[in-house]
Structure 1
Amino acid sequence: MQLDFMVVFSYWQVLAKGLALTLAFTVSCAVLGSVCGFLLSLLRLSKSPLIRIPTGLYVELFRGTPLLIQLFWIFFCLPVVFGISVPPYVSVVLALTLYMTAITSETFRGALKSIPSEQHDACTALGVASWNKVFYVIFPQALLRAVPPLLSNVVSLFKESALISSVGIADLMFVGQNISNSTARPVEFLSAVAVIYFLVAFPLTRLVGVIETRMLRRYAY
């Protein structure tokens, strides 16, 4: 067998569509998961064990089990156990969002703990309402501190999204596998898919380093 990587360019439009779908899932689930993760981090810092323990169990469950198992459970097991039919696209969004929520909640929890207690005391002394304190005082500072790990989480989610091909979603990995099977050229197309993932993920990893070394050390600490 002779390798011919030029054949990949004949299918660039199909690969581009798969990449676009992968990015769409990654961005949408990253945004939803980050918002839910911040709210969950506030609940995890609650003094009530009735709130803190269940939220902690949720985080440990989704951080401690493979994303593929979570995806399969939502897509295959929910219809069997609860009689709920979940479409593939909905199951993917739900699985990725729940996973992202769990890992970003720990990121925000660490950022929230790093905020000095004087900030909370000042809000109390000024009579600032709890929700105003959270969204106008605490959240901006926590977000700034959480930017580097949040971007790292997004990169991880982008790479983990390759698993959604297992439920028939025509993402980049699914498209690459189908083309490699139909053309009998797995080396060329799977290598091309790997290069595409790298070209998207590598700039983000470099951006994490730039933000951490230049912005955060100057403005947040």
Structure 2
Amino acid sequence: MHVDFSAVIPYWFVLLKGLGLTLAFTLSCAVLGSLAGFVLSLLRQSPKGWLRTATTAYVEFFRGTPLLIQLFWVYFCFPAVFDIQVSPYASVVLALVLYMAAITCETFRGSMKSISSDQHDACVALGLSPHVKMLHVIFPQALLRSVPPLLSNCVSLFKESSLISAVGVADLMFVGQSISNSTAKPLEFLTTVGLIYFLIAFPLTRGVTLIESRYLKRYAC
């Protein structure tokens, strides 16, 4: 087998366009999913039993099934069940946001559960309303504690977003596969795609560790 990585050079711009789409999906779905996850974390602590049960079922379903199955279901089954035509891009956003919401829900819930009972007792002693307590006392501390796992979830979402190529979205993985098939050089192009994912994910992972070890432990104890 003749290995020639110089064959990748003419296709760099196309690969970068695919990377841009991957990053756009990751960032937008991470933000929307995190916001939805925070709302779900509040619903999981609702005094209404049926609301807690429904939210728990949602979270456990999306955490317990493969993301690829969720992508396929939204892309192929959602239009048939609800009689609504959904574009590949919209189906990808919907699936990734639903998945991210389930993951971040547990992140926020765990962070809020980690707040000591003394904090809650102090709010009661001061006569703070539940709304004020959550907004000004519990939420700032929970948000600080949830930063490392939230960032880790975003890195995981970036890597798992390679699955969206399965529904025909021209992300980095889809572009790399297409070029490797047309040029008959899978080793060069798939290796390059893997390196691109690594060169982005590894510094982000190290950054999460740095943030957690040097800054957050000082305040989120």
Could you say whether these structures have the same fold, taking a TM-score greater than 0.5 normalized by the shorter chain as the test?
yes
Aligned Cα root-mean-square deviation (Å) = 1.2
Distance (whole Å) between structure 2 residues aligned to residue 132 and residue 68 of structure 1:
41
Q: Measure the CA separation in 1 of the matches of 2:165 and 2:90.
A: 14
What does residue 10 of structure 1 align with? Answer: 10
Structure 1 unaligned residues grouped into runs of 5+: none
Structure 1 distance, partners of 2:115, 2:64, is 27
Deviation per CA, 1:119-148: give whole Å up to 9, x if none: 223333434343333233222111111111
- In the alignment, which residue of structure 2 is the partner of 1:139? 139
- CA displacement at 1:2 relative to structure 2: 0.7
Distance 2:93 2:133 in 1: 31
The runs of 5 or more residues in structure 2 that have no matched partner are: none
Q: SS where residue 17 of structure 1 aligns?
A: helix
Higher deviation after alignment, 175-184 or 131-140: 131-140
Paired residues in the alignment total: 221
CA-CA distance at 1:31 after TM superposition: 0.7
1:59-102 C-alpha deviation (Å, 9 max, x unpaired) = 00000000011111111001222211111111111100000000
2:27 paired residue number: 27
Q: CA deviation at 1:112?
A: 0.3
Distance in 2 of aligned mates of 1:141 and 1:42 = 15
1:117 Cα offset (Å):
2.1
3-state DSSP of counterpart to 1:96: helix
Q: d(CA) in 1 for partners of 2:174 and 2:115?
A: 43
- My pick for the range that moved more, 136-145 or 114-123, is 114-123
Cross-structure match for 1:156: 156
> What does residue 61 of structure 1 align with?
61
For residues 158-212 of structure 1, what are the alpha-carbon distances to aligned partners after superposition, in whole Å with 9 as ceiling and x for unaligned?
0110011111111000100111011110100000000000001001110111112
| 131-140 vs 181-190, which moves further | 131-140
TM-score where L is the length of structure 2: 0.96
1:40-189 map, 5 Å: 40-189=40-189
CA distance in 2, matches of 1:30, 1:152: 11
Question: Aligned AA for 1:148?
Answer: P
- AA matched with 2:110: G
Cα distance in 1 for partners of 2:83, 2:75 equals 11
Take 1:218 and 1:31, find their aligned partners in 2: how far apart are those partners?
26
The one-letter code of the counterpart of 1:18 is: G
1:218 Cα shift? 1.0
Between 1:200-209 and 1:129-138, the stretch displaced more is 129-138
Residues in 2 aligned to 1:185 and 1:105: alpha-carbon distance in whole angstroms: 42
User: How many angstroms apart in 2 are the aligned matches of 1:64 and 1:206?
Assistant: 27
Match of 2:47, SS state, is: coil
Q: How far apart, CA to CA, are the structure 2 residues paired with 1:119 and 1:89?
A: 44
Structure 1 stretch displaced more, 59-68 or 138-147: 138-147
Give the TM-score of the pair, scaled to structure 1: 0.96
